[in-house]
Amino acid sequence: MESISSLLAKALDASWTRHEFLASNLANADTPGFKRQDLDFQSYLRSALSPGIVMSTTHPRHISSSGPRPLYVTRDSSSLTPDGNNVDVDREMAEVSSNALYYTAVLRQLGEHMSMLRKAITEGRR
């Protein structure tokens, strides 16, 4: 069973990874032919929380499993502009704001959890 702080840390990692996709979309808003990408957040978090298959390496050149890999989705293959780009800057900014609010909420929860642990360890003394 995972600890609460571990779960919250994985949620923060997933939110950060999603932010990187959203930032890439905004950076490529004027790139001809660019198609927006977004993190399949629920699948990413589910893969981060499940132990999955652990690969064993018996040779130094074997590939090791290093946690969940980002799963991205090209949500819409249509084009908003004649050059084939489908990034809507207003929509991306709304998604960035929503993701930032989620990140902040999880970060606060992690802070509260750490505060409760600190109180338990010190028996309420400062």
Q: What is the pTM of this model?
A: 0.74
Domain that holds residue 36: 4-122
Number of domains the chain is built from: 1
pLDDT surpassing 80 at residue 2 = no
Q: Please, which residues bridge with residue 39 across strands? A: 72
**Torsion from C-alpha of 47, 52, 58, 62, nearest 10 degrees:** -30
Report residue 81 as tokens: 């502009």
- Determine the residue type at 52: G
Give CA–CA dist 90/94, Å, rounded. 6
Give CA–CA dist 107/46, Å, rounded. 19
pLDDT surpassing 80 at residue 64 = no
- For 21-56, the pLDDT digits (tens) are 999 999 999 999 999 998 887 777 777 777 655 556
* pLDDT-above-90 percentage for the chain: 43
**Cβ neighbourhood burial of 103 (10 Å; 0-12, 13-18, 19+):** middle
Instruction: Compute how many other C-beta atoms are within 10 angstroms of the C-beta atom of residue 87.
Output: 21
Can you say whether the dihedral through the CA atoms of 11, 12, 17, 21 is positive or negative? positive
Residue holding tokens 């400062």?
Answer: 126
